Amino acid sequence: MSSTNGQYSQTRWSLNALLSSPEGLAVDQAIAELETATTAIEAMRPTLSPEMSGEDFVKVLKAVESFAEMAHRLGSYGPLWFSEDTQNQAALAFMGRMEQLLTEAQNRTLFFSLWWKGLANEAAERLLAYAGDMRYKLEQDRLFKDHTLAESEEKVINLKDINGISAMVTLYDMITSKFVFELEVEGEKKELTRDQLMTYVRDPSPELRAAAYQEQFRVYGREATVLAQIYTHRVRDWATENLNLRHFASPIAVRNLANDVPDAVVDTLLDVCAEQAPIFHRYFKLKAGWLGLPSAKLRRYDLYAPLTQESSKKIAYDDAVAMVLDSFNEFSPAVAKEAQRVFDDGHIDAEIRPGKRGGAFCAGILPGVSPWVLLNYTGEPRQVATLAHEMGHAIHALLAANHSILTFHSALPLAETASVFSEMLLTDRLLAEESDPNVRRDLLVDAIDDAYATILRQAYFVLFERDAHRLVAEGKTMDELNQHYLNQLNQQFGEAVEVSEDFQREWICIPHIYHTPFYCYAYSFGQLLALSLYQQYKEDGESFKPKLLKILAYGGAASPHHILSEAGIDMADPNFWRSGFKVIEGMIDELNE
Ligand SMILES: [Zn+2]
């Protein structure tokens, strides 16, 4: 491993590449530029016609791109600033101001996309020839042709959403992020955030693991009726807008079209996940044996239990960065160089600070500008994997840098390809270097636990959502939703895991089903895709590399179907999804030996 000589330290990031300051001249200028772009688009309205010249069409597209760039700068600054410090009133106020300002600007330019969607096929085809890199984005817009309303109606929906359903979801966040959890650890009563509480579900002590979950459900349970009511409104609003007004065939079809993945493919993915659940059942049974639990059967509380009793060794941040960059370098020096840029540009915030948002994420905002990566690095070995994961996202964005701002973001189902692949590269490297059987075992257990949490768990969230949207429409109560959730957990775990009743209200603790309905299958999709790509890499070696780099370099400039079929992948084929599960089966076999 190359030494970095303490070159990397956990510092705050710099947002200067977005805006040099959130106040004063910098913001005024950016707002003025947004206004210029908005007025330019408005001024072109009379030129829009099915007969317009390709040259005029390109002019509109350029203005739309400039508008998007300013909207991204102004719209992303607030959330990033807020995640640095969630108690920051100025960040919150900035975010609110920008949301209002951007919605109004978007409404003024809405006519372009409505005109474009309404254009006859022949005229659209002619103009698409001039679209260059924006072609797929424009094609994708037209997929929504039959689900689009009149301009005045679209405007009202946008304006009412800010203080309507979006505000409702913000209230969910505000209520739940104020929760304080209490847990007695080694005789000491602690007050914890949810992130901190959830670290105890991986504690060696079975009592502590159970207590952590029970505390989560106790605290959420106190507000369960309010939180379930917010969910009911989310679901009803989804149905009113998307089924009644926009005529989508089903609630999930909205997400599928946005992802540009056919309904049948998503059904196949979810079916294969349910069908392959026994692979994890076998793992959970083995794990119960290795843990030597008194209950003989794994309790749901024990799902993420570590096999090693003593707390694992800590890895210094500097070493973690070196390990991740090394594993990239081994795959491709060019990829490692891209990753290096994120550090050189100071776009990573890995420091632990009070008030900072929990978890980790990567935000690629402008093509060619290093993405921003947030981490809460405390040194547990699994956080090295998190670093690899987020840096994978960063590489994905950087490899797609030569696309338009409107096409460089990869579609959701492909968004986890580089991140999961990077984790696999790191795990394999660590396995290759590690001779201690206990550490090797921990590495594999972590990888399989993560695969469970990303694939099966997320697929079952979506299976629940599919039913929940129907049950809410039928007027079912919270208790009935709880019962349904518990029944599905029992299906998911079969005979392998004992699920206690308190898990019935787990669904109200899942922010994604409130924020972005049916989002979660993108995780199952992404992880299974990345696993089978990794399998191909192991089989084909060097010749595989250009294939992966090509997938990543597309960003979002072509449909998932196009990008994957070029790589020889048929996402409609259940056997493709099964091949991802085979990789997990292989890891379980290895562990069992
Ligand atoms: Zn990710």
Residue 4 has pLDDT above 70, yes or no: no
**Confidence (pLDDT) at 6:** 66
Mind spelling out the 3-state secondary structure of 406-422?
Answer: CCCCCCHHHCCHHHHHH
- Per-residue pLDDT, 311: 56
2 pLDDT exceeds 50? no
Question: How do residues 14-24 score in pLDDT, each as one tens digit?
Answer: 999 999 999 99
Distance 119 CA to ligand 1 centre (A): 37
DSSP 310-362: SPPPP--HHHHHHHHHHHHHHH-HHHHHHHHHHHHTT-EE----TT---S-EE
Closest CA to 322 of 233, 426, 403: 426
Band of residue 11 on the pLDDT scale cut at 50, 70, 90? confident
pLDDT at site 388? 96
236/239 Cα distance (integer angstroms): 5
**Tell me: the pLDDT tens digits for 314-335?**
889 999 999 999 999 999 999 9
Q: How far is the CA of 34 from the centre of ligand 1 (A)?
A: 31
pLDDT per position as a tens digit, 264-287: 999 999 999 999 999 999 999 999
Q: How far is the CA of 454 from the centre of ligand 1 (A)?
A: 10
pLDDT of residue 548: 95
Tell me the CA–centroid distance for residue 424 and ligand 1, in Å: 13
pLDDT score at 30: 95
What pLDDT is stored for residue 355 in this prediction?
A: 79
Q: 22: which residues sit within 8 A by CB, 6+ positions away?
A: 77, 78, 81, 90, 91, 94
CA 389 to ligand 1 centroid distance, Å: 6
Mean pLDDT of 460-467: 98
**pLDDT exceeds cutoff 50 at 177:** yes
* pLDDT at residue 312 in the model: 62
Residue 1 pLDDT? 40
**C-alpha 469 to ligand 1 mean position (Å):** 26
**Is the confidence at residue 178, as pLDDT, over 90?**
no
Q: Which range (76-90, 360-374, 386-400) has the least confidence?
A: 76-90
**CA–centroid distance, residue 263 to ligand 1 (Å):** 23
From the CA of 527, how far away is ligand 1's center (Å)? 9
Specify which of 82-86, 151-155, 292-296, 312-316 reaches the highest per-range mean pLDDT: 151-155
Mean pLDDT, residues 398-418 taken together:
94
Condensed to tens digits (0 to 9), the pLDDT of residues 541-554 reads: 999 999 999 999 99
CA of 38 to the centre of ligand 1 (A): 33
CA 400/CA 548 separation, integer angstroms: 12
Q: How confident is the model at residue 3 (pLDDT cuts 50, 70, 90)?
A: very low
CA dist 260 and 32 (Å) reads 35
User: Does 295 have pLDDT greater than 80?
Assistant: no
| Cα–Cα distance, 464 to 485 (Å, whole number) | 7
CA distance 191 to 451: 30
Q: In the numeric block, which tokens belong to residue 37?
A: 């772009």
| pLDDT > 90 in the chain, percent | 82
**388, two tokens:** 């690899």
pLDDT (tens digit, 9 = 90+) per residue, 469-508?
999 999 999 999 999 999 999 999 999 999 999 999 999 9
Closest CA to 276 of 535, 579, 2, 592: 579
Listed residue (365, 449, 450, 447) closest to 408, CA to CA: 365
Give 416 Cα–ligand 1 centroid separation in angstroms. 5
